[in-house]
A and B are shown apart, each in its own frame.
Chain A
Amino acid sequence: MLILNCPYCGMNKDETELSAGGEAHIKRFGPGSSDLDFEEYLFGRTNPKGLHFERWRCSSGCGKWFHAARCTVTLEVFGTYEAQTLEPPQSIKDLITAKRPGWSWREFS
């Protein structure tokens, strides 16, 4: 059972109390962008075997969306953070670097 801490209400929630929302930090390009950009937004996924950043919703709790950094192989959770950001906070990045030196995910490292 995956347990995540909601950064808004501070509660530890089981995965049955949460809704998974797929990959995080996906960019939607504005008017004038190409079909390829739109395809990338809709379907392009890193789907990594290892460190992943994703969206979750505290659906049986406060109802807010948040982000989580998690390993898709070990299910280790590196941390959760608020969704109102374009990149993971430095504290989470530092924590991951300590455990997985040399990591990279999309443009972050």
Chain B
Amino acid sequence: MKRFSVFAVAHEAMRQHSGWSRTWANPEQKKSYDVIIIGAGGHGLATAYYLGKNFGITNVAVIEKGWLGGGNTGRNTTIIRSNYLQDPSAAIYEKSRSLYENLSQDLNYNVMFSPRGCMMLAQTQHEMRGYKRTAHANTLQGVKTEFIGPERIQQLCPIMNVDGPRYPVLGALWQSRAGSARHDAVAWGYARACSDMGMHILQKTEVTGITQDAGNVTGVETSRGHIKCKKLGMVVAGHASVVAEMAGFQLPIESVPLQALVSEPIKPCMDVVVMANTVHGYMSQSDKGEMVIGGGTDGYNAYTQRGSFHHLEETVRALIETFPMISRLKMLRHWGGIVDVTGDRSPILSKTPLGQTFINCGWGTGGFKAIPGSGWAFAELMAKGGSPLTAEFGLDRFCAGRFVDESVAAGVAH
């Protein structure tokens, strides 16, 4: 693989850019690997990358039924933040956010991380109390956030209407090093680095079954034949329950559609990420100038990758009150992804009832921000059998009642 640098660009400029190599290889699959990861989304590729980088395990295949980064990695609103209430959540999300800071240098691939700051609006007295509590919790956790008032909010985001009739903006939880990144580049950067380490990314290869012997996994059946493995990692987000069923166990997860939409591109008008949980909408401006808007999840299970129209209507209605200037914007595209939601709205990074098989799922509506940290922690769990970052996120917490309860702490958007 050719490294990207200013010298490489200059060198290639002098020979009609004829020397760039492919970003990742398209290899023939082997009969067996040390580790197979199901799912070449952000989390799966990050897991493979840190298995290689931190633990020297490079005989790895990442299997993907579609194309890499084509699921929720390509469907989210790219918000990165770590201002969670519970300690285990703050630890893994802050690990992730801090890895994003140097990810472009680490991967030698520009993921366009933009720590532009994220504010979560408090529009009721209840939210005021909740976010002040979160700000104090973050201080104890070493996550830099602060609670700010309407004046500062208006200064940071002039297009916001802070004294709206129904839900005036009373304050906000502000994380200055939160922000966004380019979602495709995160997947592509990890894929390029994995491929460079000799790992195989097998696209258009659907897993149809999981083979086992004496309680341990032995491989996977795929649309392109059987592949053996010593360890298996399932990182398939919305389809976690489907893959878990192949391995013979059930998950405390329900899959629902979550929608997002983008407007036509406009001049730069907002250089922060704003989340409004009471009215249920969040918005940021992409580098292309599109306003990127995230909405709510459907109330019922579905695998349709599109959601109900009335959720979009509610989201846009709420945002127009907070940002009156967007009322005449045309919306260009809207789409849905299938998110895997757990009972306590916290992820599952865990061993499973099947030996040598691990699962990373349940990131629900907030997985993009967690990609590097999730990969880092899950790789450690797979390589060493345990990780301090995943200790609280085991499958057994649902039986033991040790929930990491972000469903109350996070409100809705998460």
Interface residues of A, Cβ cutoff 8 Å to B: 1-2, 15-16, 19-20, 22-23, 35-36, 38-39, 42-49, 52, 54, 72-75
Asked if A47 contacts B299 (CB within 8 A), the reply is: no
Chain B residue contacts of A20, Cβ below 8 A: 298-300
Please name the residue on chain A nearest to B241 by beta carbon: A47
10 smallest CB-CB distances across A and B, nearest first, come from A43-B252, A47-B241, A20-B299, A20-B300, A39-B399, A43-B398, A43-B343, A49-B303, A72-B302, A72-B301
Chain B residue contacts of A54, Cβ below 8 A: 300-301
B154 within 8 A of A: no
Query: When the two chains form the complex, which single residue of B250, B302, B310, B398 contacts A75, counting CB atoms closer than 8 Å?
Result: B302
Contact with A along B250-277 (1 / 0, CB 8 A): 1111110000000000000000000000
Contact with A along B374-414 (1 / 0, CB 8 A): 00000000000000000000000011100000000000000
Q: How many A-B residue pairs have CB under 8 A?
A: 67
Asked if B252 contacts A44 (CB within 8 A), the reply is: yes
Question: Which among B298, B301, B309, B343 has the highest number of chain A CB atoms within 10 Å?
Answer: B301
Please name the residue on chain A nearest to B398 by beta carbon: A43
Q: In whole angstroms, what is the CA distance A73 to B242 when docked?
A: 13
Q: In whole angstroms, what is the CA distance A73 to B302 when docked?
A: 6
B239 within 8 A of A: yes
Q: In whole angstroms, what is the CA distance A34 to B365 when docked?
A: 32
Asked if B399 contacts A36 (CB within 8 A), the reply is: yes
A-B contact list, 21 entries, CB within 8 Å: A1-B309, A1-B310, A15-B299, A15-B308, A19-B299, A20-B298, A23-B254, A35-B400, A39-B398, A42-B343, A43-B252, A44-B252, A45-B250, A46-B241, A46-B250, A47-B251, A48-B241, A72-B302, A72-B304, A73-B304, A75-B302
Q: In whole angstroms, what is the CA distance A63 to B242 when docked?
A: 33
Chain B residue contacts of A49, Cβ below 8 A: 239, 241-242, 255, 303
Question: Which among A20, A43, A44, A48 has the highest number of chain B CB atoms within 10 Å?
Answer: A43
Asked if A73 contacts B303 (CB within 8 A), the reply is: yes
Distance to closest chain B CB from A57 (angstroms): 11
